[in-house]
Structures are given as C-alpha cells and as structure tokens.
Amino acid sequence: MKRRKMDFTIRAATLEDCKEVARMIMELAEYEKVADQIKITQKDLEQDGFSKNPFFHGIIAEVPEQHRSKDGHTKVGYALYFYTYSSWKGRAVYMEDLYVMPEFRGKGIGKALMSKVAQLGLAAGCTQLNFAVLEWNKPSLDFYLSQGCYDVTSNLGYHCMRCEGDALVHLAQGGP
C-alpha cells in the first residue's frame, strides 16, 4: 500500500513567521533535551533575521488549513541557515536548524526543507552544506547519511569547538 503524500509548501520565512519559528525552536530544544539553554526570543529572531544585514535566513514548511496540527498550527517545520566560507573550498551554507513537528515526520517535509537549503546554497555559489547533528539522534543521522551526507568528525577527524560567555569576553580582551 502506497503512503499518501502530505500536501505542503516550502517558502521563505517572513518577519510574521518569527512567533511560530520561536515556538518550533523551543519544541526542537525540548526534543534535544536542552530547552533550558534557549536564550533567544521572538524579538531576537525578528531583529537578527530581518534587519538590513541579517545573521540568518529561514524557510518554512506550511500545510493547508485542513491538515493543520492537533494544536491548530499550519506552520509545521522550518530550517534556518546562513552563509559561511571555507578557506579550502570557498562558499558554503550552514544549516543551523532543520525541524519538523513530530506528527508531520515521515511525509517528505524534512527532506524538502533540506533540499531547499541545498538549492539556495547552490544558487549562491556554495560548494558544501554543513550542519551538526546530535550523536544520539540515530533517526536524523540515518536520514542525513541516506541523503549522501557524511560525518566529518569521523572521516576527517575535526572537532567542533566553541567559546562563549566569560571565556569569550576574556578572549576578546586578549586572553591569558
């Protein structure tokens, strides 16, 4: 029996979507068991994504009203991305988030969102799409591997590093 494909559209996020994106960011953080680490607000998203020089771009997955979620949402997934640069390969796109509400997973929405980020990256002259995935998130890892992605941590031996908070301030002041 063939599964019926869900009707949905993928479109660029707008300022008016920030409330729903903030909701889904919190849902993603709860899924990843890090909800206590969310510091950004809807206002931050509006300012950082829709100012003259945006820090990120976004796309939205939307279903028709008749397919809305059990809680009444029609915006059921999103991806946030921004452009970076590789000193070896040139232009790159980094996908910060890819999220689909649980009740809408397995219907091609996540793949369509990721495909759109790849299309936008290629259109901007990017040669690679980069992103991070939690080690324990086997369904997502399997999905990404099935799309032809590979793990640079195991294949190339890189570690993703971060400096934040007091350490970032200390580093900016000249470090030790």
Q: Which domain holds residue 67?
A: 9-131
Catalytic residue among 99, 144, 150, 158: 144
For residue 3, is it within any domain? no
Q: How confident is the model at residue 5 (pLDDT cuts 50, 70, 90)?
A: low
Residue 81 annotated as catalytic:
no
Mean pLDDT, to the nearest integer, of 80-104?
96
Q: Whole-model pTM? A: 0.90
What is the C-alpha to C-alpha distance for residues 92 and 149, in angstroms, rounded to an integer? Answer: 14
> Cβ distance 94 to 84 under 8 Å?
yes
What is the C-alpha to C-alpha distance for residues 158 and 7, in angstroms, rounded to an integer? Answer: 39
Same domain, 21 and 87: yes
Q: How confident is the model at residue 2 (pLDDT cuts 50, 70, 90)?
A: very low
Provide the pLDDT for residue 153: 87
For residue 1, is it within any domain? no
Same domain, 45 and 119: yes
Residue 12: helix, strand or coil by DSSP? strand
| Residue range 27-38, pLDDT digits in tens | 999 998 899 999
**Mean pLDDT, all residues of the chain:** 93
Same domain, 66 and 112: yes
Same domain, 151 and 107: no
Mean pLDDT, to the nearest integer, of 61-69?
96
- How many domains does one find in the chain? 2
Same domain, 161 and 113: no
> Cβ distance 12 to 21 under 8 Å?
no
Residue whose structure tokens are 């991070």:
132
